[in-house]
Amino acid sequence: MTMPDTLYGALMLSLVDFFASLVMISGIGVVLALFPLLNRIGKVDEEALRKTHH
């Protein structure tokens, strides 16, 4: 389904897009909030990485 090419379509597109963007970006925020949990897996040795860089 696509939006009608009218002022109503523009209003609907704006409303849906704005709120959907808010929800989606909040979802990314939630994913980022879980990132500290990654540190339970282990630790990356930065010095070792720097020594082996190409």
Partner 1 sequence: MIEQFLSFLGALMDQTGLAHFWWGNVVMIAIGCAMIYLAVAKGYEPLLLVGIGFSCIISNVPGSDLTQPGGLFHYAYQGVELLIVPPLIFFGVGAMTDFAPMIANPKLVILGAAAHLGIFVALIGAKLLGFTLNEAGAIGIIGGADGPMAIFMAIKLAPHLLPQISVAAYSYMALMPLIQPPVMKLLTTHDERRIRMKQSRQVTRLEKIAFPIVIGIIVNLFFPPVAPLITMLMLGNLFREVLVVNRLAKTAANEVMNVIIIVLTVAIGSTMAADKFLTIDTIEIVGLGLIAFLFGTGSGVIGAKILNLFLKEKINPLLGSAGIASVPIAARVSHNVALEYDSENYLIYHAMGPNLAGVFGTAISGAIMLALLGVK
- Give the footprint of partner 1 on residues 1-54 (CB under 8 A): 1-7, 9-11, 13-18, 20-22, 24-26, 28-33, 35-36, 38-39, 41-44, 46, 49-50, 52-54
Structure tokens at 45: 């040795």
Q: What is the distance between the alpha carbons of residues 27 and 15, in angstroms, rounded to a whole number?
A: 18
Mention every residue, 6+ apart, whose C-beta is less than 8 A from residue 3: 9, 10, 12, 13
**In the complex, minimum distance from the CB of residue 8 to partner 1, in angstroms, rounded to a whole number:** 10
In angstroms, how far is CA 38 from the centroid of its own chain?
17
**In the complex, minimum distance from the CB of residue 53 to partner 1, in angstroms, rounded to a whole number:** 5
Binding interface with partner 1 (CB under 8 A)? 1-7, 9-11, 13-18, 20-22, 24-26, 28-33, 35-36, 38-39, 41-44, 46, 49-50, 52-54
